[in-house]
Structure formats: C-alpha cells, structure tokens
C-alpha cells in the first residue's frame, strides 16, 4: 500500500544507513502482518483511514526509529539531571549576584535611575538565564554520551554532600508559603543555626569545590567577554569626577589593558578546576594551582599599584604615608578630598596581603601534601 511505503520511507530517513535496510524490512513484515490480520477480521481490504489508524498504533516514524537507535534517547538522562539542575542553581545565583552588584554600582554613581535599573536587571537576568541554561545543557549533552562519567559523579563521597545540604536550606516552596502567610522574617521553623554550624554544613571536599568553582568562573568569564549579557558595565559611564579624579576614564583604561589577561586567567581557572574535579581533588594538584593563581592575582594587584591608570591615585611610598592617608580619611570633614582614593588604596593593599597569605598556604600544602 502507498500509505505503508510512505510511512516506511519516513522511518528509514531517521535510521543509520548501515542498518536501515534490515530494520525497514523487519518493520514492513510486522506492518503487513498486522494489515493481513485486520483484513481477515474485517472480511475486506482495509480503507486508507483504517490503515492509517493501524500505522498510528505502530507509532510515529520518529518514535519508531528511536527504538532502533543506539545511545541515549534524551539530552540529559536521569543520572545527570540532578547535577544539571544543581549547576543551574549555582550559575543563576552567580549571575544574579553579578547583575545586582553591577546595577547597584550604576545606581550609586547616578548612571541609571532605580526604575531603569530594575527593568535592565530583569532583561539581563532573562537573557543571561537563557545563556546559562543553554551552556549547561550543551555540557550535559556531551557528558551524557560519554561511556565513562566523571569521577565527581561516579565516585562521590559523603564529604562532598555539605554543599548540597547547605543548598537545601533555601527551599523555594517554604519561602513561597512564608511570603503567602505574610511572614517576611525569613527565619526557619526550628532553631536558627549558629555561624559555626552553617560553616560546618557548607564544608565541601576538593572535588565539590572544584565543580562549584568551575560553574562560577564560567559565568564570570561569559560576563567579562560579553557573551552573557548581564548588566553590562561601561567603565567610561560608571563614574564621573570624584574628588577631582575621573574614575570613569581610569576604569576604562584599566579594563582595556586588563581585558585579555583577565579572560585568560578565568579560562585557565576553569580548565584547572575541571582537571581537579576529574582527578578527584588531588591535594598537591590543588595546592599547585592555588599557588600559580595566587601569584598571578598578586602580580595583577602589583600592576594596579605600580603601573595601572589608578596607580597615581592610590600609590604611597612608605608605610607612614599609608597610615597618614588612613588617618585623614577617618578624620576627614565634608570639604576634605581623597576619600575614594584612600579606600581604593586600602582595598588593593588588603587584597594583595590576602593573595600573599594564599600563596604561602598553598606552598605549605604543596610541600606537606595535605
């Protein structure tokens, strides 16, 4: 029958070439057998409508062809789906944080009004969420088709579960019920956890930290390169002249010079975190990476201090000058100037000190192996 042949051609188009003929022949025999049984039951040849009803019972060509196709039949299977969902939560959280920080800065410096910021924030979150979902789905699609799943999925440890336990405290359904009841306190029904208890519940193994870090740095890299349209910040529009200093121009110059180094840093960090996750969180590998990235970050801060466009504003030649500027900031009056520059000076020095401590600790872990 013409209907059967058209049906079989539609199925054949979805089948791999090497097995197409055999599968179509098998399917033709099955359909013809069912048509003969229908004809015997009716006592006459079935009409086109009756034959089409039978073909519907066999199944749509796409569904029938899928039965004979090897490999996964879903973008992301049930084993990977919880990881995909967790990665989505982390990615959206980081993206929302970046959006809020960017919009807050723009509102504070007068670049946009609050109403404009809310509208831009919603638009940025929607477009950014689509990008994050697409990226995670692409990664899940590839992992789903690997014969060997990553170690952080197949060889998890109880120590890895602290991150997921902490995430369980943020129950969307519970929050929705509280808001519906007019409870804006945000407190839990039970006794509030102490700071130590919260930190303990948030403890993660090196593998879990590597996975979370990979997701976070991926979002940051996409935002930095403009692939993730989340509250794009135009440095030259961020700030005008404050205390006689054009911080908008300074920031624009710094972003222009540091654009590719920062992008390279983030990309290397993502690759390193993936390596950590695949290796099971090897202690010395983690320490080596922390050492390298700590040195790179410290060098970047030295660049900010000595050679960037911000250097003339924040640089001091001695500890005495550093302390004097802080004293002036603490006791400044409304007519004094230089407050923003002093704050930035302290931030850069503090960040550099933190990176030095990080490098020392990483070197110690690299030596002792724990």
Say what angle helices 81-108 and 114-144 make with each other, to 10 degrees.
160
The Cα 226–Cα 263 span in angstroms is: 11
End-to-end CA distance of the chain: 73
For residues 107-120, give the mean pLDDT: 67
Q: What is the pLDDT of residues 240-262, one digit of tens each?
A: 566 678 877 888 889 889 999 99
Asked if 287 and 366 count as a contact pair (C-beta separation under 8 A), the reply is: yes
Q: What is the pLDDT of residues 280-326, one digit of tens each?
A: 667 888 889 999 999 999 999 999 999 999 999 999 988 898 888 88
The Cα 216–Cα 204 span in angstroms is: 15
Which pLDDT does position 262 carry in this prediction? 93
Q: What is the pLDDT of residues 57-93, one digit of tens each?
A: 988 888 888 888 776 777 888 888 888 888 888 888 8
Which pLDDT does position 201 carry in this prediction? 46
Helix H or strand E encompassing 61: helix 61-67
pLDDT of 144 higher than 60: yes
Which carries the bigger pLDDT value, residue 196 or residue 329? 329
| Least confident interval from 8-12, 32-36, 108-112, 190-194 | 190-194
For residues 321-343, give the mean pLDDT: 73
The Cα 183–Cα 123 span in angstroms is: 29
Which residue, chain included where needed, has tokens 């000190």? Answer: 353
What are the domain boundaries of the chain? Answer: 2-67, 74-165+198-279, 282-370
Which pLDDT does position 265 carry in this prediction? 95
The Cα 35–Cα 57 span in angstroms is: 12
């Amino acid at each position: 029958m013409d209907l059967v042949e058209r049906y079989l051609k539609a199925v054949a188009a979805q089948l791999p070439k090497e097995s197409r003929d055999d599968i179509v022949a098998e399917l033709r025999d099955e359909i013809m057998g069912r048509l003969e049984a229908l004809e015997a039951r009716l006592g006459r040849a079935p009409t086109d409508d009756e034959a089409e009803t039978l073909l519907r019972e066999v199944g749509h060509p796409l569904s029938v062809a899928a039965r004979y196709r090897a490999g996964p039949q879903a973008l992301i299977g049930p084993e990977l789906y919880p990881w995909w969902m967790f990665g989505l939560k982390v990615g959206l959280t980081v993206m929302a944080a970046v959006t809020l920080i960017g919009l807050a800065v723009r509102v504070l410096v007068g670049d946009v009004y609050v109403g404009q910021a809310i509208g831009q924030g919603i638009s940025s979150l929607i477009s950014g969420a689509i990008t994050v979902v697409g990226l995670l789905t692409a990664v899940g699609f590839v992992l789903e088709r690997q014969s060997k799943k990553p170690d952080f999925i197949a060889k998890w440890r109880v120590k890895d579960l602290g991150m997921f336990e902490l995430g369980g405290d943020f129950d969307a359904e519970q929050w929705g019920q509280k808001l519906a009841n007019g409870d804006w306190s945000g407190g839990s029904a039970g006794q509030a956890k102490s700071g130590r208890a919260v930190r303990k519940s948030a403890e993660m193994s090196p593998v879990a930290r590597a996975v979370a870090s990979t997701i976070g740095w991926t979002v940051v890299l996409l935002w930095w390169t403009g692939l993730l349209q989340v509250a794009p910040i135009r440095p030259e529009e961020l700030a005008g002249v404050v205390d006689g200093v054009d911080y908008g121009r300074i920031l624009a110059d710094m972003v222009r010079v540091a654009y590719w180094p920062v992008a390279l840093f983030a990309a290397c960090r993502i690759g390193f975190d993936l390596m950590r996750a695949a290796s099971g969180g090897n202690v010395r590998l983690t320490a080596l990476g922390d050492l390298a990235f700590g040195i790179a970050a410290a060098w970047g801060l030295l660049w900010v201090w000595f050679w960037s466009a911000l250097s003339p504003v924040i640089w001091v030649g001695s500890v005495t000058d550093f302390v004097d500027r802080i004293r002036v900031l603490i006791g400044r009056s409304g007519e004094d100037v230089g407050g923003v520059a002093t704050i930035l000076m302290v931030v850069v020095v503090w960040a550099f000190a933190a990176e030095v401590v990080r490098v020392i600790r990483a070197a110690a872990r690299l030596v002792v192996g724990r």
